[in-house]
Amino acid sequence: MQDKKRRWFLPVAFLTLIFGLGVGTFGLHAGDYAADAAYVQANYQVPVYQRAEALVERWTATAADNMPGREALVELDGLSRRLAGKKFVRDIDYSYSVVKDNHGWLQFITFALEPKAIVQDIASYQALGVPIMYIQPPTKFIEGYTEFPPTLYDKTAENVAENFALLEDAGVPVLDLRAAAEADALDKEQMFYRTDHHWRVETAFWAVQQTRAALAEEFGLLIDPDGYYSDPAHWQSAAYPQSFLGSQGRRVGRFYGGLDDFTLLTPDFATDYEVEITQYGGKTSETVSGTFADAVLDMSKLSAPSVYTGRYDVYWGADYPIVRADNLANEDGPRVLLIKDSYSLPYGAFLSAMVDELYMVDLRYYDIADLAGYIEEIAPDLMLIMYS
């Protein structure tokens, strides 16, 4: 009897809180209420407490981002979990559950995945006659360094190995930045943000340096031939201490995982760009012309007062289906296509300073069926795949 009472209490209490704060403020529409009613009708034989729990998950998944006082609730919940010594915080979407590892970093769990579609079909892109290099970034789960609680297991290494096997069979060169990080003895504590799944801006700059060397060795392709643009001495560094709560931290609050410092790297040399962005749905934005700061940076990401703002998106402003960056100060450089995800926001920004034109395609928002045609249209000198 006590167990049944407890099972009733939590969803009912949460529903009371939801309505007390005002469901209307969540921006739910009549159609959402109709869908909820349909769910209840279709599941009338399911115990009421289970229906209540399901509705709580539905509402929190679709509306909690707009909830008044949401950040304060996240902070309080994270504080309670930290005080309780919890190493695992379950998310409604299980893949976004947060794990605190043995170094106090926040992590997402990587599950077993099929090899990436572009890797499975790599032969069709090789047939286009464009040199291809696959770049594997370091992963936040570092083999032999990162440990999860015993009941959790990360599949990052296995997934990478499956992609590598297909690339090796196809003869596509791979730049494994995990091995390069070991060879360069990078400080593992400084490679990633503690509260975000991305590498640090400084690590992305190092990755461009590694790319420059690998392209020269593999293809004899010289980007930044004299090493000027890839020299850290020619970039300004601005520090934003304790200002960033990353993608993992935003799910559990600063009291659970702390805050990150953020560093902005910008050119200390003259720049001249034209940047055109293809938005979601295929709409193309107006071309932005000007310096690196004008055309590449979105400084609102750093000026926003809330630590919940995605500082990492200061480069390019967000992820888009297509970004074309024309570096007018380097018209003798190569035309490069970069198949990317969010890891490439700072990486692409730094790489753009070393090439003539950089085309960035994010396959999370772009139909891969159109990719071969797009490659033929832009005729790049090189195709880089860094799709972590």
User: Position 9: which residue type?
Assistant: F
Residue 292 pLDDT exceeds 70: yes
Instruction: Please tell me the total number of residues recorded for the chain in this structure.
Output: 388
Q: What is the pLDDT of residues 152-172, one digit of tens each?
A: 999 999 999 999 999 999 999
Q: What is the pLDDT of residues 341-364, one digit of tens each?
A: 999 999 999 999 999 999 999 999
Q: What is the pLDDT of residues 101-126, one digit of tens each?
A: 999 999 999 999 999 999 999 999 99
The arithmetic mean of pLDDT across residues 2-8, rounded, is 45
Q: What is the pLDDT of residues 294-310, one digit of tens each?
A: 999 999 999 999 999 99
The alpha carbon of 358 is separated from its chain's Cα centroid by a whole number of angstroms, namely: 20
Residue 287 pLDDT exceeds 80: yes
Of the candidates 118, 99, 171, the residue with the CA atom closest to the CA atom of residue 341: 118
Q: pTM of the prediction?
A: 0.83
How confident is residue 282, by pLDDT bands cut at 50, 70 and 90? confident
Mean of the per-residue pLDDT values for the chain?
A: 87
- 362's tokens: 């994010």
Work out the burial of residue 321: count CB atoms within 10 Å of its CB; fewer than 13 is exposed, 13-18 middle, 19 or more buried.
buried
Contacts of residue 275, defined as CB under 8 A and 6 or more positions apart, other chains included, come to: 287, 288, 289, 295, 296, 323, 324, 325, 326
Q: What is the SS3 assignment for 267?
A: strand
Of the candidates 8, 196, 209, 32, the residue with the CA atom closest to the CA atom of residue 106: 196
Q: What is the SS3 assignment for 375?
A: helix
Q: What is the SS3 assignment for 286?
A: coil
How confident is residue 134, by pLDDT bands cut at 50, 70 and 90? very high
The arithmetic mean of pLDDT across residues 277-281, rounded, is 89
- 128's tokens: 């286009």
- DSSP letters, 176-234, are EHHHHHHHTT--GGGSB-TTSSSBPHHHHHHHHHHHHHHHHHHH---SSTTSSTT-GGG
**How crowded is residue 323: how many other Cβ atoms within 10 Å of its Cβ?**
26
Category of 361 on φ-ψ map: left (φ > 0), alpha (ψ -120 to 50) or beta: beta
DSSP state of 25: G
Contacts of residue 33, defined as CB under 8 A and 6 or more positions apart, other chains included, come to: none
pLDDT at 388: 79
Rg for the chain (alpha carbons), in Å? Answer: 23
CA-CA distance, 136 to 139, in Å (whole number)?
A: 9
- 208's tokens: 């461009």
